[in-house]
Chain A
Amino acid sequence: MSWVAKTLSSSLGKKLLMAGTGLFLCTFLIVHLIGNLQLLKEDNGQSFNIYASFMTHNPLIKVISYGLYFFIILHSAVAIWLTILNKKARPADYAVSNTSSTWASRSMMLLGTMLLIFIGLHMVHFWARYHFDNGLSLVSYGTEPMKNLYEIVDAMYDRGNEGWIGFYVISQLVLGFHLSHGFASAFQTFGLNHRKYTPIIKGAGLTFSIVIALGFAIIPILMYLN
C-alpha cells in the first residue's frame, strides 16, 4: 500500500475522510437550501424552474454534482467501515451504561442511515422524475421550454400527501441532529481545537444545524398551507 492509502485507511485517516466529505456536504446543504427557498416565492414556480434548469445544464455544476454523489457514497461507505471496526473493538455491551455524551454523537450511524434512506427517496421523488420522466409538462418564460419541476414539488406537498410531508419534516429533524454533532466534530478531527475558536465553531455548528433543519422543514409546511 502506498503511504497515502495507508494514511487514509488508518483509524485517523478514516476520520479525516468522514470530516472532509461531511464538511463538503455541509456546503452543499447551504446551496441547496438557498435554491429551494425560491419555492416559497409567489411566482408560480418561475424562479425555481429557471434555477433548476440552470443547475442541471451548467457544465461546472454538473461536474460538482458528480463530486457530490461520490462524496455521499464515500461518506456512507467509510461510515459503515468505521462502524464495523468500532463494533469489533467493543464486541460486548455493558449491562448498565450511564454515559455523559450526547445522544446525537452516539447515534451518528443511525441518523446517517435514516438520512441515506431519505436521500434515496428524495431522489426518486424529484431528481429521477426531473431527469427521466418524459411526461412532465413544459413551461417557457420567454426562453427555451423547460421542464416544470415546480409542478411536481407542488403536487408532492399538497393535501392528501400528509404522510410524505411528515416524512420530509422528520427527516430534517434527523438532519439537524446529525449536523449538531457532525459540524463541530469535523473541525476537531482536522485537529482544529483552540481555546479561542472551538467555542465559536461549536456555536456555529449548533446554529447551522438549527437553521438548515428549520429552513428545509419550513418549505413543505408552508407549501402545504398555501
Chain B
Amino acid sequence: MNIISLILIYLGLLVMLIGSFGVARLPDIYSRLQASGASDTVGVIVILAGFLLYKGFRFSDSFLGLLILFFFVTGPIIGHSIAKSAFLSKVEPSQSRDKGEDA
C-alpha cells in the first residue's frame, strides 16, 4: 500500500464528493451537468489510477488501464448527450440571481 496510490485514491474521492455535492445543490440541470460530468469522470479516473499502483503493477491490473481508457472516452459523451437532449426539449436555464435584480 504505497503512498502514491493512497494520495491518488483520496484525491479522487475528494473530487467525487465535491461533484456529488454540486449535483445536489446547483439550481438547474445545466449547472448540475457541468458539476457531474467533469467530477465523475475525473474522480473515477484518478481513483482507478490509484488502484493501478496499489500492490505494484501486475499484468492482471492492466484491466484497470482499460477501465481508465473507457471512462476517459465515455465520460464527456454522457454529459454531452444529456445536455443535448435537455436543450432540444427546450429546458430553460434558471434566471434566478442570488443578488435579486439583474445587473
Does B bind A?
no
Chain B residues within CB distance 8 Å of chain A? none
Tell me the A residues contacting B by CB distance below 8 Å: none
